[in-house]
Structure 1
Amino acid sequence: MKTLLIQFKSLVLVALLVSVTFANAQKAEAPSQSYDLGAKINEMTLTIGGVLVVATNDGLVGIKPTESQPVFTFNNFGKLKPEETDFIPGSPYIVVSQGATSGFAGLSKTKRAVIDYVQGKVIFNSDDDSWNQIYTCNVMLPQNKLVVSGIQKIGDKFEKMTPKVAVYDLNTSKLDYSFFLDKPGRVGIAKDFSVTGTPLLLKNSLIIPTAQGLIAKSHSGEDLWQTKIKGVNWMVADETEKEIYGFETTTNGKNTRIHKIGSNGAELWEDDRKVKGIVTNFEILPQGLAVVSDVAGGTGALGAKSESKITMFSAATGEDLWDKAPKTKGYVQHFYIMEDGILFGIESGGINKISFDGKPLFKKPLKTGENIMVMAHTPQGLLYITGEDANIVNLETGEEVWGKPLKYKRAASVASTFDAKNDRYLIAADGKIMAVDANSGEVSDLAKCDFEEKEDPNHMEIRDTGVFLSSSQNMTSLAFDGNENYHTYHKSPGRSTFGKIVGGITAVASTAMTVSMSMKAGANRSAFGSVNDLDSYNDYGKEAKRAADMFAGIAGASFDYLSTRFKSTAATENAQFILTKLDNGVGLVKVNKDTGNTDKEIVLNDKKPEYEVDEFGGFLFYKANDKTIYAYNLNN
């Protein structure tokens, strides 16, 4: 996930800017919609579907700004703690949990519900289906299924005490099939059939990891096979689904054991394989199995270093294919599968590439600054940008294409873009914009960039009018020769008054991160394919299409809605939404990127406003008081 968080950094940076004059502003202080929720508001979450989910003292409420009434109200479980509400990445689903999740006998009741916030439907409620205890509740994508395990109070007295698994179709809200993990009423020593990790849903079977071993069932609930491999946390299958890999975290939590199982349940390796640390990346390749694991450092002078381990195993035998693993000396921040090997970047600085048979492909590891913000394909080679330097390197040899790296003072953010018209890279750092010739690497200063409040630029893009550059309170547009078209600055209303802006661009990144996040959580990631592909620089527009295509590939009306949403033009394409201090109080303004003029302003009448902005759809949600939400349309 670290890799994708950096990959999409450019997408999620938010500019909070303001115009010097409001002469032409259209005041729009009256909200488009007003929602009296009838209970104290505790938290607001903007979803990737543009629906605001509000946690109140009564439960959850969903607000779609185009509708005058909430799309759903869920008060079945009463007031919810933040940790009891789980927004499933890249989906329209919320899983609501209440109660303990471990053990069997004698525990209080546990509840689970799944809400489709787009359609405003509760598509699963454990109370409605007589589940007394829920142990696991996993959404499976792209299959669009829900797998639940626990105790269901249906049947005779033995069945009401026997652990059970059920599979529901989330599109229809109907039960597909269910089965018991143990024979109801079995006589003998009690066995613990608790589910230890995330089930793996395949085309023709479902594999459940339990404390007794892996249990495989057909989609009709019939027994297929069972193994004695216990304590598996998550699983991955290859494309054929004939080879399955199970990951088991050791009891001390410091190592991971990897098991390989056939589609018939047979153990395909003579022994499982142990790797140090917790597996954070796993790729099934024609050349073998690429594994990245993070090892937490020890304490004291002799304590182990905190770093990632990269290993390549034989898929056939599980044997380590490399005589010597590459040194990382830090955590792997970027990890990409290339045609000739594995390319990786280290969070503390450094880039290297190793062949699939363990041979170094770079003449020597490339030294870089810390925090590699960007690693991307360009026609000239691999572009990297860190908090301290930037360069393009030959992807085959690791040699620097630019004679020497472009160095600057350490910065928390560095804005950059590619100017195709002039065949140059533009990088903003050290209070100036530097232009780097794409072919020669020659560096020249394009313009100064002296932003107020000592802000670092965090966004840059090429527009018809020139180069657009922005930060929280500053915005400037430059002609291609570096002359200033305009510069606007408005003093921030105070950092403590800043609301949380979460927009559609963030949602695109969230969608793309689904696989990585799911793997961290042990989800059913095999169906999504590889995410470790090196992107091309400045391909931001493709991310929305990628999200739209991903949603389109999943059956269901809500996914159709999400696909259509990301096919639309983002509201931020030509404007920025900005929080600032207006004449009549703190408010939000919509600022035109090409002119710097303010097209709209909304006074929030609050020194410390709580709000969310859907930057993709163009809506503002504002907490007007402790029970009321206002919605404003920012597109008009």
Structure 2
Amino acid sequence: MTKKLIIVLNLFLLSGVILTTNAQVNELWKKDLTGTVIWQQVTSFGNYFVCTSTEFAAFNPETGDKLWSNSEFANIPNQQVEEMSGSALISINLGQTIYLVDPYSGAVKFNSTKAGISELKTKQVLYKANGILAAGKNTNGDPLMLMVDMTNGEIVWKIEEKFGRIVTLNELSNKELLIVTLFKNYKINSETGDIIWKNSTSKEAEQLDNMGAFGSLLAGVAEQAVSDEDFVINFYKHPEKDIFIIAAENKSESQTSSGQTSISYSNNYTAFNLEDGSRLWNAPIEMNGQLGTLAFYKDGIIVLPNDGNRTKINFFNLQTAEGLWGKKGRGIAIKGGVYKHLKTESGFLLMSQSGDKNYLNFLDPDQGIITFDKPVKIDGEVIATVESAKGILYVTTAEVNVLNPTSGELVFDKSIQTSPSLTQQQDNKLYVFDIKEGVIKSIDIDAATANNISNEGLRFEGKEGPNNLELREKGIFISSEQNVAMFDYNGTKIFQNYFEAPREPGLKRALLYAQAARAAYISANSYYAAGVLQTAAPDVKEEDAFSGAVVEGFGMVYEELGDAASDFAKQSFQQANARFKATAQGRDFMIVFGKVEKDNALFKVNKDSGEIEGTINLGKEKEPVYAVDDITGQIFQKTAEMQITSFKL
């Protein structure tokens, strides 16, 4: 009797799975259009666009209502439309003109031809000034820099002097803008365009400036010679003083006697007074190697370059630029080039790299010494760290371990092989999937101990390995693109399922784009919801106000602006913040590609059961026209030549 009951139940469950597999998800809305649907896309901000043979239009993704349309951009290829970096604005390249379009109203906020710019080199939203800064060359080939009002799209001011190539710009306030070019720094009144001050970036640049027309000619020749090169230049603002530092990397090539090309690097640092733009030092600080990192410490700066196994680090007096560490102030040697540092209570944890080898070292800045007898060799680049009484737990791109910063020894005899996306913190525990052993482990951060949760090795099908771990109420959910599994917190496997994927690569393009957008928000959230591990938020915010606001998740720039923020800024920050919070909260399903008989399909897979809860049939096309919002769980499908349908998963 018992056996029969089990068989009946299994048949019932199997039948339920089949019914669920073929169940269509709820249709949210359907829209008939006036032209043939060519492509559609959801941006990282959640704006939804459809391009047809008659128009380029924005729709409310929740209701399907058309927000605006523009027939001028009909039929435009997808490759000519992109999100503007650090902004919700849409950049459209049509012929010789670049348009910047407000995604909320459809208003063209910038037209390069109308602005008189024939060659656009720089474009950036100035959130505090409520404008767009654009720079390039006019129709005569002369330099032109201008700001456009975000409210009406009108030009507020122009600067037509030979400012040179812009390498970085920063909003100091809602009225002041700092612009760094190859040869000069500018502090500009962002309301009027008046130049508050301008100064040469170096003595050499100053000499060119003093040579008049001939100097301008030489500067132009020098700039043209490097017009196609990518510059590595970092901007550092002192956290307390009106001082900023520009760090630049220089690359040199030479021919060896055997005819091979030898490449060497050097980097230099110049400090400026923010009030008048004057240089603080008679000459820049020069170091060998590529740019690494820099840390402000007490009355100086710690310069941490990347010169491989020849790297030397040093501490410089901020007023005199005098080197204070090592023999004759020439610095102290360290294994590998520094790419990241972490400030701790007793010093700095330094992360360095030489070739494909990575190292950890500990710096005592007060004594100017490396405290470890020898560097600690690790696998992968350090992504996140958390301090505890037992040491510093670190997560790299390849492993997890705990470092004793006093002795320089690792607590675990063997590091746990994993990746950041296969780790998640809850209170004082870090859950980790061990790739080598195929088991889930729990690390007690306070005690620096690790224990197996599961003992059964997990192996995925389809030549895939796990790439994501998520803590849920019922257990630990582990997944890849086509595989899902769950273990309870005692280590018992609850389920494991595999969904065979279609082979056509074009099918996944829209889903992968959406997953990348979701991953960006998750990365901004840090790998750990608890937020106790170090993240890149301060560094990102320093370089880009909007991205920093998204990373921190609170719309800090919007809060600073208050009522002065434009409608565009308010909508941008609020929309990004809402999506940021949505990714932090997690959700109960994932989207997986699969097959229904001979048709391609998107499956809604429940994370707590591993079963398919709904299906969206994409037909037999190798490249179906669909779009995915992987944050809200919404699918937009071309269901007829002139029709789009939205489904809510």
- TM-score for the superposition, normalised by structure 1: 0.73
Q: Are 2:198 and 1:198 equivalent residues in the alignment?
A: no
Deviations 1:33-67 (A, max 9, x none): 4575847847x654221124567899965454225
Q: How far off is 1:604 after superposition?
A: 0.8
Question: For residues 225 and 387 of structure 1, what CA distance do their matches in structure 2 show?
Answer: 45
Deviations 1:129-175 (A, max 9, x none): 4545544322235655322235679xxxxxx99744323343x2455
Q: How far off is 1:89 after superposition?
A: 4.3
| TM-aligned CA distance change 1:592 to 1:312, over 3 Å | farther
| TM-aligned CA distance change 1:476 to 1:210, over 3 Å | closer
Question: For residues 281 and 624 of structure 1, what CA distance do their matches in structure 2 show?
Answer: 52
Q: Which residue of 2 aligns with 1:157?
A: none
Q: How far off is 1:602 after superposition?
A: 0.7
Q: Which runs of 5+ in 2 are unaligned?
A: 1-14, 206-222, 224-230, 254-264, 527-534
Q: Which residue of 1 aligns with 2:438?
A: 432
The equivalences for 1:100-499 within 5 A come to 111-131=97-117, 134-141=120-127, 144-150=130-136, 163-170=143-150, 172-173=151-152, 177-182=156-161, 192-203=162-173, 204-210=175-181, 213-219=184-190, 220-229=192-201, 230=205, 235-239=235-239, 242-250=242-250, 252=252, 254-262=265-273, 263-279=275-291, 281-286=293-298, 288-291=300-303, 293=305, 312-323=315-326, 324-329=331-336, 332=339, 334-346=340-352, 348-357=357-366, 358-362=368-372, 364-372=374-382, 374-377=384-387, 380-386=390-396, 389-402=399-412, 404-407=413-416, 415-418=422-425, 425-436=431-442, 438=444, 439=447, 441-444=449-452, 446-448=454-456, 449-494=458-503, 496=505, 497-499=507-509
Identify which range, 306-315 or 264-273, moves more after superposition. Answer: 306-315
Aligned partner of 2:633 among 606, 609, 618: 618
Question: For residues 405 and 32 of structure 2, what CA distance do their matches in structure 1 show?
Answer: 55
Identify which range, 22-31 or 614-623, moves more after superposition. Answer: 22-31
| TM-aligned CA distance change 1:613 to 1:129, over 3 Å | same
Q: Are 2:543 and 1:525 equivalent residues in the alignment?
A: yes
| TM-aligned CA distance change 1:424 to 1:76, over 3 Å | closer
Q: Which residue of 2 aligns with 1:587?
A: 601
Question: For residues 47 and 268 of structure 1, what CA distance do their matches in structure 2 show?
Answer: 44
Q: Contact between 2:483 and 2:496, CA under 8 Å: does it hold in 1?
A: yes
Question: For residues 85 and 163 of structure 2, what CA distance do their matches in structure 1 show?
Answer: 29
Deviations 1:92-127 (A, max 9, x none): 12344578xxxxxxxxxx644322324443222233
Q: How far off is 1:331 after superposition?
A: 6.8
| TM-aligned CA distance change 1:489 to 1:226, over 3 Å | closer
SS across alignment from 1:453: coil
Q: How far off is 1:466 after superposition?
A: 2.0
Aligned partner of 2:62 among 63, 66, 71: 66
Q: Contact between 1:72 and 1:117, CA under 8 Å: does it hold in 2?
A: no
Q: Give the letter for the 2:433 counterpart.
A: I
| TM-aligned CA distance change 1:582 to 1:336, over 3 Å | farther
Structure 1 vs Structure 2: percent identity of aligned residues?
Answer: 20
Q: Give the letter for the 1:49 counterpart.
A: F
Deviations 1:424-477 (A, max 9, x none): 744332353143452362544623212222422222222221222222222122
Q: Give the letter for the 1:365 counterpart.
A: P
Identify which range, 81-90 or 358-367, moves more after superposition. Answer: 81-90
Q: Which residue of 2 aligns with 1:48?
A: 44
Question: For residues 355 and 593 of structure 1, what CA distance do their matches in structure 2 show?
Answer: 47
Higher helix fraction (1 or 2): 2
Q: Are 2:73 and 1:93 equivalent residues in the alignment?
A: no
Deviations 1:497-537 (A, max 9, x none): 43343246324146579x979989xx9727689x8xxxxxx
SS across alignment from 1:198: strand
Q: Contact between 2:348 and 2:363, CA under 8 Å: does it hold in 1?
A: yes
| TM-aligned CA distance change 1:65 to 1:82, over 3 Å | closer
| TM-aligned CA distance change 1:615 to 1:180, over 3 Å | closer
Q: Which residue of 2 aligns with 1:557?
A: 570
Q: Contact between 1:195 and 1:210, CA under 8 Å: does it hold in 2?
A: yes
SS across alignment from 2:358: coil
| TM-aligned CA distance change 1:440 to 1:284, over 3 Å | closer
Structure (1 or 2) with the larger CA radius of gyration = 2
Q: How far off is 1:290 after superposition?
A: 4.3
Q: Which residue of 2 aligns with 1:21?
A: 17
Q: Which residue of 2 aligns with 1:538?
A: none
Q: Give the letter for the 1:615 counterpart.
A: D
Question: For residues 616 and 543 of structure 2, what CA distance do their matches in structure 1 show?
Answer: 43
Structure scoring higher RCO (CA < 8 A, sep ≥ 6) equals 1
- TM-score for the superposition, normalised by structure 2: 0.72
| TM-aligned CA distance change 1:33 to 1:370, over 3 Å | same
Question: For residues 245 and 560 of structure 1, what CA distance do their matches in structure 2 show?
Answer: 33
Question: For residues 123 and 98 of structure 2, what CA distance do their matches in structure 1 show?
Answer: 7
| TM-aligned CA distance change 1:356 to 1:80, over 3 Å | farther
| TM-aligned CA distance change 1:624 to 1:437, over 3 Å | same
